Each structure stands twice: as C-alpha cells, then as structure tokens.
Amino acid sequence: MGLLDKTNPWATRESVIRQAILWGAIAAGVYVATCLWQPALRPYWAALLLAATAFGAGIGALMEWQLDDGPDKPNEEDWREALDAAGPGIDLDEDRTAWDQAWRAMPHRRLESSPGIEVGREFIDHFGDLMSVTISLDPPENSERAWRESESCPVCGEPTAGSERLPASLHPNFASGLSYGIGVWVHRTCFENCRDTSEPAPIPW
C-alpha cells in the first residue's frame, strides 16, 4: 500500500475538498490560538498561517482519501433524489399540507368533566395543573397510524371494545401551555355529547 493510495472507497473529489477545507480551517484556528500564546511567532504569522492551513488541509484530504469511514451523511438533495426514485406521489411538502388539513378539519370537542382515562399524572407534576381536555376525531385515512394504548373511553371511562366507537385523539392542556395528543377510542355517543370547541383540531406531530 503506497502512502497516497486511495483506500477509502467512499472518497470523492468533493468529499476530499470538503475535508481539506475543514481541516485547513481547524489548523488555522489552532495556529492563531498558538500565536496568541507565543508572541515570538508573531512576526512570521502570515507565512506560518499559510503553512499551517496548507498542512491541515493536506492532512484532512489524506484522511478522507484513505480512512474508510462510510459514506457521508446524505444531504437534502440526496434525500429528494431517493424520494423521487421511490416513486411518484411522494412529495414531503404536499403530503404534509394534506395531512395538516385532514387533521384540522376533524370535529374537535371539549370534555365537560375530568377524563375517564389516565392522561399522565407524571406530567401534571412538571407542567402544572390540567386546565382542560379536548378530543378530536382522527381522519379515517390516518387513523391506522396512531397508537392507542387504552381501549377505555376517555369520556365515560367504560371499555369501548365491542361497542360503536371512533378513533380519536385526546388533548390534555396543562397550565404551562404544554399539550399533547393521546390516541384513544371513544364511544360515538360520548363524543357526540361533548360540546364543540369551535377551534380547529390540533395536528399531531
């Protein structure tokens, strides 16, 4: 193996240049810091700074050329290309907008009394009292994605299995402003008996 053989299969012209610039900058930074401590070096700082930068850049380029550290992290452009290759119809922004609209448009109601299921006692200690709890239905096309730990209705506390129930999200709102969504099942009649909030439903994640 020669000193300058390319042994990193992931190295490209761009990645070598990138590493050279990075390590050149690091070497220059270290050199400037050294000069501040060593006044004797100051008269030659310009020439030595160039030398230090070139030395760092050379080391950086050589490391990238020879050390097999796997591919660099994909950048935004690579992601787009990968998405395009995965097939048409996958557009992150468009997907996101449709997702947001679907959730916002769902019925959103307020629980009149404290919820029939546990909404996270540990959170109350950290984020203040539970101020209110609202509940919104999940868009049918997205309801499969949500995780529902409890099968108890958050309104009445009774089990929902075997009865007419709807996929929904429960939103506890704490005094500190914290709020989050919990996937739940709610009895259809229980949901319909709650009063409308006249606010758009929150969007989960």
The residues of the shown chain that bind Zn ion, judged by CB under 5 A, are 153, 155-156, 187, 190
Q: Which is nearer to Zn ion, 11 or 184 (CB)?
A: 184
Cβ atoms < 10 Å from Cβ of 101 = 12
Scan for tokens 């053989």, then name that residue: 5
Q: How far apart are CB 129 and Zn ion at their closest, in Å? A: 24
Burial of 52 (0-12, 13-18, 19+ CB in 10 A): buried
Scan for tokens 């939103």, then name that residue: 171
Q: Which is nearer to Zn ion, 61 or 155 (CB)?
A: 155
CA of residue 28 relative to chain centroid, distance: 34
Q: Which is nearer to Zn ion, 78 or 158 (CB)?
A: 158
Q: Which is nearer to Zn ion, 190 or 194 (CB)?
A: 190
**Distance separating alpha carbons of residues 130 and 121, to the nearest angstrom:** 10
Q: How far apart are CB 191 and Zn ion at their closest, in Å? A: 8
Q: Which is nearer to Zn ion, 194 or 201 (CB)?
A: 194
Q: How far apart are CB 136 and Zn ion at their closest, in Å? A: 16
Please say whether the beta carbons of 119 and 172 come within 8 A: yes
Q: How far apart are CB 93 and Zn ion at their closest, in Å? A: 38
How much helix, strand and coil, in percent to the nearest 5, is found in the chain?
45, 15, 40
**Distance separating alpha carbons of residues 56 and 21, to the nearest angstrom:** 8
Q: How far apart are CB 126 and Zn ion at their closest, in Å? A: 29
